[in-house]
């Protein structure tokens, strides 16, 4: 991938289309609610239909890889088509894979998702730092070299995460240490760096210091999980301009009618634009 670094491309996309990140999560229950079979054929119709309806209206489209992988090679082939289709519509693709490993294995993940020529290469991916932030180096290096980004899990909204993420470490919590490490990678970048963090929109204000991050913040939980635009303002404060609120089920429940999907994404996007800009 050539051209501007991910932080610049993301900032430009948000300026043009707003900050909403639309998730493509082909959960079997959602697929069936569209009147489709919960198999590879239903997955294809669901995922490509949702992508066609949503991708041209958002800055970022976020497919959840696990729901595609569940169908084996046929599902992965659909995911490749989703990535290509979203790009054709002008959206950046954030592939939600949450990969985290060490050494050559992490390097292989980086080759799969962050390297030119790979059919699964996205504009950015989610990664897990819980084998140590340093274990992410192959992904960070590959992303920087190819103009891509990574979003590092910091303070997720699942209850089980708190035991690790809120544990104390030098300088604050484990989650804060991840934010600080990401900030160090982003230092000096303009308009922002390409190392983002994931912070659930349903968490409590005051847990993290985010003002120095100088990078994007993926905030899942908008809509179906209960978070509102007002919650985002309270949670993120001065870092609000870097936030990408993510919504999936709250948008996808309006399918399979394409017009209803487009209306839902426009309504959600427009409700966020005034607040986050």
pLDDT of residue 224: 60
**Using 50, 70 and 90 to split pLDDT, how confident is the model at 277?**
low
**Domain range list for the chain:** 6-276
CA 229 centroid distance within chain: 18
Stretch (H or E) spanning 189: none
Task: Look at residue 79 and tell me whether its pLDDT is greater than 60.
Answer: yes
Task: Look at residue 263 and tell me whether its pLDDT is greater than 80.
Answer: yes
What are the tens digits of pLDDT across the range 142-168? 999 999 999 999 999 888 999 999 999
Mean pLDDT of 197-219: 93
Average pLDDT, the chain: 94
Q: Please, which residues bridge with residue 93 across strands?
A: 61
What are the tens digits of pLDDT across the range 51-61? 999 999 999 99
Superfamily (CATH) of domain 6-276? Aldolase class I (3.20.20.70)
pTM of the model: 0.96
pLDDT of residue 223: 66
Mean pLDDT of 68-78: 98
pLDDT of residue 234: 86
Work out the percent of the chain whose per-residue pLDDT is above 90: 84
Catalytic (active-site) positions: 98
Task: Look at residue 2 and tell me whether its pLDDT is greater than 60.
Answer: no
C-alpha to C-alpha distance for 242 and 104, rounded to whole angstroms: 32
Is the peptide bond between 191 and the residue preceding it cis, with omega within 30 degrees of 0? yes
Question: Are 165 and 134 contacting, i.e. CB atoms less than 8 angstroms apart?
Answer: no
Strand pairing category for 92-99 and 60-63: parallel
């Amino acid at each position: 991938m050539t051209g501007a670094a991910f932080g610049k491309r993301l900032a430009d996309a948000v300026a043009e289309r707003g900050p909403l990140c639309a998730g493509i999560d082909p959960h079997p229950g959602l697929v069936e609610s569209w009147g489709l079979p919960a198999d590879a054929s239903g997955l294809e119709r669901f995922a490509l239909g949702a992508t066609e309806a949503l991708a041209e209206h958002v800055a970022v489209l976020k497919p959840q890889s696990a729901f595609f992988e569940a169908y084996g090679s046929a599902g992965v082939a659909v995911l490749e088509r989703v990535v290509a289709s979203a790009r054709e519509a002008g959206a950046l693709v954030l592939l939600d894979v949450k990969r985290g490993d060490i050494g050559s294995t992490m390097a292989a993940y980086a080759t799969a998702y962050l390297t030119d020529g790979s059919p699964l290469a996205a504009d950015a991916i989610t990664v897990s730092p819980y084998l140590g932030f340093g274990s992410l180096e192959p992904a960070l290096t590959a992303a920087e070299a190819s103009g891509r980004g990574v979003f590092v899990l910091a303070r997720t909204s699942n209850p089980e995460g708190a035991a690790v993420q809120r544990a104390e470490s030098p300088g604050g919590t484990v989650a804060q240490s991840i934010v600080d490490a990401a900030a160090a990678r982003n230092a000096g970048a303009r308009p922002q760096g390409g190392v983002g963090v994931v912070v659930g929109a349903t968490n409590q204000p005051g847990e993290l210091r985010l003002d120095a991050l100088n990078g994007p913040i993926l905030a899942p939980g908008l809509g179906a999980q209960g978070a509102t635009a007002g919650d985002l303002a309270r949670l993120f404060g001065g870092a609000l301009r870097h936030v990408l609120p993510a919504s999936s089920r709250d948008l996808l429940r309006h399918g399979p009618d394409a017009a209803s999907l487009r209306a839902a994404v426009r309504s959600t996007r427009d409700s966020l634009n005034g607040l986050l800009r």
